[in-house]
Structures are given as C-alpha cells and as structure tokens.
Structure 1
Amino acid sequence: MLICYTSNKFPTDYIPTVFDNFSANVVVEGITVNLGLWDTAGQEDYNRLRPLSYRGADVFVLAFSLVSRASYENVLKKWIPELQHFAPGIPLVLVGTKLDLREDRHYMADHPALVPVTTEQGEELRKHIGATYYIECSSKTQQNVKAVFDAAIRMVIKPPLKQNEKRKKKPRGCFLNVLCGRNIVRLK
C-alpha cells in the first residue's frame, strides 16, 4: 500500500525488509504535507524494535487483509494492545486491504474455505476500537489508496472537534505512523 501510494503503481518485485523508507509531498485540502513513510516488519522477531518508531505519532493507520481472518483478528489481539501500551490516545484510521481479491470471483472460487471480511464487519471493528474512519482499498487497482492517506492526513491537519471544544490553534506539522499488518508510515 505504501509503495503504491508513493509511486502510483503496484510493486510486483517488492522484497520486504526490517525497515524501508519512502517519502512523498502531497496536497490535502490545500495544505502541502511532506510524508515520510517507514515500512517496518510486523513479524514477532521485530516486536521490540517496532514500537521505537511510534514515538511522536499523531495518527495511526491500522490495516488488515480483507481476505485473511487471522489478519482481521490480529487488529484486536496484537495491534490494539501494542498501540495502547506504546502510543495510548493516538487516533486511528482502520483499513481493509486487498479489496480486489474479496471481489474476485476466481480468487474466491480457488479458495473455497476462505470467508472474507465484510464491510459491515470492518465497520463494526472500527467502532469497537474507536477508529475515526474505516476505508477499504486495493493497492493492486489503486482503489481508495489515496483516500486512506488523505483521511489520516486530514485527522492531523483538521482534527475532529470533541464535544464542547473549539478549534483554537492553526494546523501544525504532521507526524503519521501507519501499521499495515507489517508496515509503519511516518508523516512529517
């Protein structure tokens, strides 16, 4: 999703590493934002390293695969406890990835035991974890990839007002971490 967002193309030969960095300048609601993206490994081997990248984050984008029940369940089992421990109170955008596969009849026919995550289940999870947005996307087709990052950036430059709260400050710089099952993205 990160490479797709920064390069506008789906990577066919990407090899994941412990840490990768990408950057992009984007304009959201007339504001230019420098996006520094950190792709980090989500595997257990990196549980001690990963939280080091959380410090100073303004928002997290937490992604799971729409065609992996285990990925969906890890949002509650792994990612939410980790974020509550290392980055409490940081707002969330929840993202269901691989939308193209959930809608692909051939893929679903080749995987008859697969029960994809529905939009309703994603929305229910969003409410349960207190995420501000739930967006489904496909890196392969680029569907809604920009919307994911625009929503996260908007949460930083125009945070939602809490009840009885008035906006007093001008928008400030942004710092965004994104968890994409294995990815963390930083927005500076």
Structure 2
Amino acid sequence: MSYAYLFKCIIIGDTGVGKSCLLLQFTDKRFRPVHDITIGVEFGTRIVTIEGKPIKLHMWDTAGQEAFKSITRSYYRGAAVALLVYDVTRRETFNHLESWLEETRQHANPNMTIMLIGNKSDLAHRRVVRKEEGEKFAKEKGLLFLETSSKTAHNVEQAFMESAAKILQNIQEGVLDVSNVSGITIGCELPQGSSGAGDGVVAQRGRCCS
C-alpha cells in the first residue's frame, strides 16, 4: 500500500508497564490480559491518515529488562519517535523515567519526538502516580504527554496519532530535513480520493530477538 511517509517508532520503559499491550491495542484493537514478557523486540505496523496524508508507522516494542538493553539501544538511532511508558500503579517505573530519557537522548536522533505515556489509567484504585506528576515531568523535559489504558483503549489511538502528527508538523515547518533524518522515509503517496489510503490498515506483527 502506498504512503506519503514512513515513521519508525520505538516503545520503551520498564518491563510490565504495558508496552506490548499498547502496541496490540493500536494495531489489532484488542487487549490480552496475560501477555508474555517481551524477549528482544516485537514489531507492529499500521497505516493511518494524518491531515489527509497516509502515514505508515513501523513500531518496535522493546524489552524492558536490563539484559536486553543492548538490543534496545540498537533501535534508538533508527527511530523518529519514542513512546516512553510508565505504569501509574508502580512508582518505581515513574522514578526510572529520568534514566530512560537520558539513555534515549544519548543514543537517539536529537530531533526525535518523545511522547511520555502513563499507562493503566483504568486502575484508579491502585494509582500511586498522579496525572499532575506526569504532566509536570513532561513539561520540564519538553515531552508530549498522555495517560492511557491499553485495556479500555483510552487515549491509545491518540498517543500514536499525536506523536506522528508532531513529526509531520516538524517536517512541514522545516524543523526536520527528511533527507537527513533517520526514522523517516518518503513514500509514494496515492492520488487524492483513492480508497487505498484509509486509516487503520494493519499490515503485520512479529518478533525479533537475539
């Protein structure tokens, strides 16, 4: 299927914060209550429509365990956007954000768009990290921010769409030079009015591991 641009996205954060469930909800529109721990990297792709343009998203769901950090780092440079995820019911996952952000900015493109995501917002009775804390951290670090629930699908679509929209905006405003930025590929856009550029086309999901 034709597309105007291809954006590569990496999903990072501690193990168990719901990275794989976010990807599954976005690509397959479903929630799996019990999900195996990601070994290495899982992959998903979907074509969405932003400002009338078909945008193909390649999304890499990375393992959160320290043992797989070397694999995760190899995907930073090839990504245009990062979704940095924490669990609103586990304080330690929020406390580790500084470390994740430092590593991202050390290994990734300096113009990378970063979206901070507080996941599992549906578990209000177990919440230990207030929304205001996430908003404050994101504002201080210059990140986009949303709270999501991969179970109810709340804000999951919006998280990926807003991230992609920010990249497209940066391209249109000249902030990003697509000929010299990793993680962005110019595609072959379909003619206006073609039904092939419809939103929500799922291409594939897979797994890559060492």
Tell me the residue number matched to 1:121: 133
Judging changes above 3 Å, is the alpha-carbon distance between structure 1 residues 135 and 160 closer, same or farther for their aligned structure 2 residues? Answer: farther
Match of 2:64 among 25, 42, 47: 42
In structure 1, distance between residues paired with 2:176 and 2:108 = 24
Cα separation, partners in 2 of 1:73 and 1:172, compared to 1, 3 Å: same
Aligned-partner Cα distance in 2 for 1:171–1:86? 19
Pairs within 5 Å for 1:1-188 = 1-15=22-36, 16-76=38-98, 78-87=99-108, 89=110, 90-101=112-123, 103=124, 105=125, 108=126, 116-131=128-143, 133-159=144-170, 167-168=173-174, 175=183
Alignment-mate amino acid for residue 25 of structure 2: C
Shift of 1:84: 1.9
Letter matched to residue 103 of structure 2? E
Normalized against structure 2, the TM-score is what?
0.68
Structure 2 unaligned spans of 5+:
1-21, 185-210
Residues 88, 128 of structure 2: 8 Å contact kept: yes
TM-score by length of 1: 0.76
What whole-Å deviation, never above 9, does each CA across 1:86-133 have from its counterpart, x for those lacking one?
A: 1152231111100001x2x4xx3xxxxxx61111101111022221x2
1:171 and 1:137 map into 2 onto residues whose CA distance is 31
Root-mean-square deviation (CA, aligned residues, Å) is 2.5
1:130-169 deviation per Cα after TM superposition (whole angstroms, max 9, x unaligned): 21x21001000000000100111011111299xxxxx358
Show CA shifts across 1:32-78 (max 9, x none).
Answer: 111112112111001212110111322211111111100011101x2
Consecutive unaligned residues in structure 1, runs of 5 or more: 109-114, 162-166, 177-188
Helix, strand or coil for the counterpart of 1:125? helix
Mapped partners of 2:60, 2:103: distance in 1? 17
Structure 1 residue 17 displacement after superposition: 2.2
